[in-house]
Amino acid sequence: MSEIKNVDYGLEKIFDGAKDFLPLLGTDYVEFYVGNAKQAAYYYKSAFGFQSYAYKGLETGSRDVVSYVLKQDKICVVLTTPLNSKSNINDHIVKHGDGVKVIALWVDDATKSWRETTSRGAKSYMKPTIEKDEYGEVVRSGIFTYGDTVHVFVERKNYKGVFLPGFEKWRSDFNPEPSGLKFIDHMVGNVGWNEMNKWVNFYEDVMGFVNFLSFDDKQITTEYSALMSKVMSNGNGRIKFPINEPAEGKKKSQIEEYLDFYEGPGVQHIAVATDDIITTVGNLRARGVEFLSIPPQEYYDAVPLRLEEHNHELKEDIETLQRLGVLIDADEEGYLLQIFTKPVEDRPTLFFEIIQRMGARGFGAGNFKALFEAIEKEQEKRGTL
Ligand code: FE2
């Protein structure tokens, strides 16, 4: 149930709100299909500071699946594991490993959202379905997006219970402190060769999004690998989905590596916002979250000039940022601070970005080179470059 704040995307200039056929209130939840939800929940609590929120499983009468719901400020993560071999969730896990299945979007009317999108060509994942308990009702519906990933529309205005019907409040004796993560800033999808425009068109035509930033393979390249990226946003700017496609380079692109190991398109990274990246990253590092390697000295030597070019003054201590490996990028509106984790599962697939926006609207294009070089170092070790 994330809301975007503090950044003006100027979308009203390119987007006619009156024609928004799919008004989105925010991200509702992100659901991962995982091999062992109990252990994954422990990891996200211990390492990232997520809080126990809701649960369903054998104890609540759910015989086929178990789900742990974790929250941190506005971020809601669901970890789901099947309880037997018959569930088709197994197929997802066998094929993709642990990964994101559902990007759920918070809407006022899930029935209308489903009608508007399916009538524009979306493939249905779930027809509008009412779920009820003593706390009211939730309507959910869903459509497929890239790969096996889906969007579920969640209408919860008539519901007062914890999370969704079927779930109970999860009370735990183990409650590590939050790490300062606030809301989802953006979620990035990796799609196959020559498929980016197909998915850009999907978000434009089927979901009413606009493409407000693009990077081609000339901008996003190192000596070895390249990719192309287009950023899609809904009308109010609360939902931003950059889409990546691999591009030809001297060696294998990180996007290609992802596609090989995820065995198809899927969510590449989830960027979560903090308003104090120094405290958050210090905290995450102390809890064992692994980040990509810290860029070389030359990178940090160049930062003051990069900020000066755009007339911004860094409020944070640059030596502290360097010690933590935080990257800095600037545009006309401001600057941003960001850092990327290593993949959070054994397959080199999904990872997290921690981001603090100091007015900047971009996605760290000025850091792509440093980021790619850090990823290539890891690819080298994995023998996948
Ligand atoms: Fe990102």
Give residue 168 CA to ligand 1 midpoint distance, Å.
Answer: 33
Distance CA 195, CA 190 (A): 10
Give residue 48 CA to ligand 1 midpoint distance, Å.
Answer: 18
- Say if CB 316 and CB 337 are below 8 A apart: yes
Give residue 223 CA to ligand 1 midpoint distance, Å.
Answer: 21
Residues 6+ apart with CB under 8 A from 117: 22, 143, 206, 207
| Biggest CA pair distance of the chain | 60
Give residue 173 CA to ligand 1 midpoint distance, Å.
Answer: 34
pLDDT of amino acid 3: 39
Domain residue spans of the chain: 24-169, 181-382
Displacement of CA 56 from its chain's centroid (Å): 24
Give residue 62 CA to ligand 1 midpoint distance, Å.
Answer: 36
Segment 125-152, tens digit of pLDDT: 999 999 999 999 999 999 999 999 999 9
Phi/psi region, residue 311 (left: phi>0; alpha: psi -120 to 50; beta: rest), is left
Domains 24-169 and 181-382 agree in fold: yes
The region of weakest confidence among 29-33, 57-61, 240-244, 375-379 is: 375-379
* Among the listed residues 191, 226, 217, 215, the one whose alpha carbon sits nearest the alpha carbon of residue 385: 226
Domain 24-169 carries which CATH code?
A: 3.10.180.10
Indicate the pairing of strand 150-155 with strand 168-169: unpaired
The architecture that CATH gives domain 181-382 is Roll (3.10)
Kindly list the distances between the CA atom of residue 213 and the CA atoms of 102, 115, 237, 241, in Å, as whole numbers in the listed order: 24, 28, 13, 11
299, pLDDT greater than 80: yes
Segment 301-311, tens digit of pLDDT: 999 988 999 99
Give residue 364 CA to ligand 1 midpoint distance, Å.
Answer: 7
Segment 57-89, tens digit of pLDDT: 999 999 999 999 999 999 999 999 999 999 999
